Chain A
Amino acid sequence: MKRWIFFALLAMTWLTPGAGRAQSADEALAALASTSFNTVREGVEALALSGHPRAQAIVAALQNGKLLARADKALFIKNDDGTFAEAATGAPADVPAAALKPVRVNNAVRGAIEAALGVLRLFAPDPTARLQAAEAVFRSRDPAALPALERALVAEKDPKVKLRMDQARAAALLALPSATEPDRLAAVQTLRTRGDIEARSTLGNLTGQSPAVAEAAASAILAIDRTLQLWSVLQSIYYGLSLGSVLLLAAAGLAITFGVMGVINMAHGEMVMIGAYVTFVTQQVIKTNFPALYPANLLFAIPLAFGISGLVGIAIERALIRWLYGRPLETLLATWGLSLMLQQAVRSIFGANNKDVDTPSWMSGATELGGLTLTWNRMYIVLFSVLVLAALMAALRYTSLGLRMRAVTQNRRMAAAMGIRTPWIDALTFGLGSGVAGMAGVALSQIDNVSPNLGQSYIVDSFMVVVFGGVGNLWGTVVGALTLGIVNKFLEPVAGAVLGKIVVLVLLILFIQRRPRGMFPLKGRAVET
């Protein structure tokens, strides 16, 4: 309690310009050389407010036990190389070590040193350091820092730092017993405007306030809670969108093949995995052979993953699935067998361990938007899935292949009668679906472990998306993926990640009751076969 009065007094002396300032700095330095702990402590406090250019260096030296005093009360700092420097000026000094005695400290002095360093940082040349110092004061709510803060506020040019200092001042003011009621109300208002979790805890910890201030604080807490809740909802939506876009990429290919061919490809997850491994290999090749292209390696990986997964898909269709048409359940089993073999093959070639796929620098990091944290890699994945989806829709709508695919989806026999070579359409559809899965693998390699089991962890969710959204309509897949993603992320904080997932599965089973063929079912006579 006494300390802040002391600081306030000292701050006043500092504010009076000219001789007073120099005098107080000299007095502070003299006090430091004292053998009485009390005097040293007062010296530290005085020095912090003196505005002495070397104040920080001197206090830091004291903290490290490197501040030494001569019998005539002159102070020296011991450098790391064993030489000495004059404390007040920093000039090299040639003094015999035997004549010097270190300034001793006790716990009270150490506390004063901590506080003094905190105050001194408010005047640091680096704005980030000043910002942190202001935040530290905000958290400590120490009224002793008030005079220094006032001074720093006057000198501060950076508006961001100034704002933080203002908030720190408000927090400290509320802890100052002598503050007037209008000042307190203004301080509560400042905290309310800040509106984050720290401001809320500061307001929540207020005690012994007048009724008017307490009421203002309570209403501010309510307002802050409301904003915080809003931000957390938005954050959940963002996470849900990013999860949904990953699901969308993984499920789009599945929905196409299911829609056109009525076939569930259990090896679809392995197409995703192949895409991720293609990304890994591409990255390694570019790293060793064309280092200049390294930042753009993902741009090479995307078409490669599409092509390779697509070719594997066509090969699967030609070698396996075309023999099983009309037997969807057998197809399920055969493709499951294939997925086991593909997983084991990748495990044999690359090993069972996770592979490191680097995230390019332009994709890492995050940006803050209000109370939202938006990570760049997830932003890019959302963007990527929008692009892939747009391309897919355009392909289905405007290309001749898309036209034929839609015709086969609606009525296979009629399409065949019109001269469409349905076996080719089947093969190309399967290739397209697998290629999209491969591109999903590129995206997943950025946020998940690249391992032989990568596909397995997404396949059940992808099926859920297809079941929920219905087949034969990409919009169904979009709605299904985003709904499942967002519902999942909203349930996670309430019920926990695992329970949330279970709830989603149960909800889906119930949903199927009302809509056995998904949100956007295929309509027409061809369906009832």
Chain B
Amino acid sequence: MMSHRYTVAALGLVLGGALILAALNQLTPVGSPLHVPAYVVALVGKYLCFAMLALAVDLVWGFGGILPLGHAAFFALGGYAMGMYLMRQIGTRGVYGNPMLPDFMVFLGWKSLPWYWTGFEWFPFAMLMVVLVPAALAAIFGWLAFRSRVGGVYLSIMTQALTYALLLAFFRNDMGFGGNNGLTDFKDIIGFSIQSDGTRSALLVVSALLLCGQLLVARFVVGSRFGKILVAVRDTESRTRFLGYRPESYKLVVWVLSAVMAGIGGALYVPQVGIINPGEFSPANSIEAVIWVAVGGRGTLIGAILGALLVNFGKTWFTSALPEFWLFALGALFIGVTLLLPHGVMGLFRGRAAKPAPAAVAKGATA
């Protein structure tokens, strides 16, 4: 099938590309024309994390019909969980040299570690939290929202309110997450220095692997019986309900899965970027993630990855070459894609091959 061929190609490109970049960084000497500098490795790694967020957004938007304007919240929560682990790894190497407390807590005059920091020095526990915290928040929010049949534009606005509330909360010093400055100055991750080229290359490969894994999981979910019913809920929720299904359960499951995917993306983002601060919660970030999906092509999964990579490469180029015009370009992208390219870049491919289902994708939003 067509989509299988695309999936295999995408898997190969992501994994192969990451391996080649890592190898070129590791195996060629600095100064050689083939050498890939470490900052490029970290940059591409960052894009792959954004691609995970985009994939998560596409899963709920493209297949569940829920437009999330607050998905960066789950991404940032995963990031904070990883950041807490990395903070605890600093140990006595902080400015104040306190073995227990991170610098900002010493600075605030705290005497002991807050209870919710317990266990984060232990890697498996921190990784468990990367999954559980976004999942728990998504489960509570989703259960409340879907149960009372909040949908459409209302739900989108509520997700935005959620991330806005978290943004405000994490800005507070009393929260114990570093306030304004967030968590930074990380030293090492499971024993490897976070600054070294080797760690960066390894993180890039791990990101590529996890992205591929997420793509396979998403593909499996979408192709399963569950995915078929999910699409039915997206297109006509009331008819699906009358057929005897419970739309809220289907939405809730895909919503939580999507939040977990975003959280994993955030967890890998933090060591590669070296900082996590409340700015990651800002509603603008979440909306930007939606445009990645729209650019690539909603409801195609691969399109989400493609869109995230394209838009972020564009952003990196624009903000260094024409910083004044980046917002114009981004704004034009929002308008242009919604008006002229409703199926995104993937729509161009499909248009040439055959024209299967995607017509329904566009109409789905009407409901």
* Chain A interface (Cβ < 8 Å from any Cβ of B): 258, 262, 264, 320, 323-324, 326-334, 336-341, 343-345, 348, 460, 463-464, 467, 498-499, 501-502, 505-506, 508-510, 512-514, 516-517
Contact = CB atoms under 8 A, between A and B. Distances in A.
Nearest to A342: B331
B84 to A, nearest CB: 21
A509 B158 contact: yes
B161 A516 contact: no
B161 A464 contact: yes
Contact of A344 (B67, B160, B327): B327
- DSSP class of B's interface residues: helix, strand, loop or mixed? helix
28 contacts: A320-B339, A326-B365, A328-B153, A329-B67, A333-B287, A333-B334, A339-B331, A340-B330, A340-B331, A341-B327, A343-B327, A348-B324, A463-B160, A463-B161, A464-B161, A467-B158, A498-B168, A498-B172, A501-B165, A501-B168, A502-B165, A506-B165, A508-B161, A509-B158, A509-B161, A513-B147, A516-B149, A516-B154
Nearest to A499: B172
A337 B154 contact: no
A88 to B, nearest CB: 62
Contacts of A324: 338-339
Those 10 A-B pairs whose CB atoms lie nearest each other, nearest first: A337-B334, A341-B331, A344-B327, A340-B331, A505-B165, A337-B331, A329-B67, A334-B338, A330-B338, A337-B335
B294 interface: yes
Interface string B318-339: 0000001101101111110111
A264 B157 contact: yes
A345 B331 CA distance: 11
A348 B161 CA distance: 29
Contacts of B290: 333
A517 B153 CA distance: 11
Contacts of B285: none
Given A338-B331, A509-B144, A327 B365 contact: yes
B76 to A, nearest CB: 16
A262 B148 CA distance: 20
A344 B319 CA distance: 14
A259 to B, nearest CB: 12
Nearest to B333: A337
Interface string B131-171: 00000000001001101111011101110111011001101
Contacts of A464: 161
Given A332-B67, A467-B158, A498-B172, A326 B366 contact: yes
Contact of B287 (A336, A343, A348, A510): A336
Contact of A512 (B158, B165, B335): B158
Nearest to B334: A337
Which of B164, B171, B337 has its CB near the most chain A CB atoms (within 10 A)?
B164
A491 to B, nearest CB: 13
Contacts of A341: 327-328, 331-332, 335
B9 to A, nearest CB: 28
B283 interface: yes
A505 B141 CA distance: 12
B291 interface: yes
A341 B327 CA distance: 6
Given A333-B334, A344-B325, A463-B160, 20 more contacts: A324-B338, A333-B338, A334-B338, A337-B333, A337-B338, A339-B331, A340-B334, A341-B327, A341-B331, A341-B335, A498-B168, A498-B172, A502-B168, A505-B165, A509-B158, A509-B161, A512-B158, A513-B144, A516-B148, A516-B154
Contacts of A516: 148-150, 154
B37 interface: no
A512 B154 contact: yes
Contacts of A348: 324
B19 to A, nearest CB: 35
A340 B328 CA distance: 7
Contacts of A501: 165, 168
Contact of A327 (B330, B337, B366): B366
Contacts of B160: 460, 463
Contacts of A512: 144-145, 148, 150, 154, 158
Contacts of A502: 165, 168-169
B172 A467 contact: no
Contacts of A339: 331
A328 B331 contact: no
A327 B144 CA distance: 25
Contacts of B94: none
A464 B332 CA distance: 27
Nearest to B325: A344
Contact of A320 (B148, B150, B330, B335): B335
Given A498-B172, A509-B141, A328 B161 contact: no
Nearest to B67: A329
B172 A333 contact: no
Nearest to B159: A509
Contact of B334 (A334, A343, A505): A334
Nearest to A500: B168
Nearest to A343: B327
B332 A337 contact: yes
A154 to B, nearest CB: 57
Which of B152, B158, B290 has its CB near the most chain A CB atoms (within 10 A)?
B158
B342 interface: yes
Contact of B148 (A328, A333, A513): A513
Contacts of B161: 460, 463-464, 505, 508-509
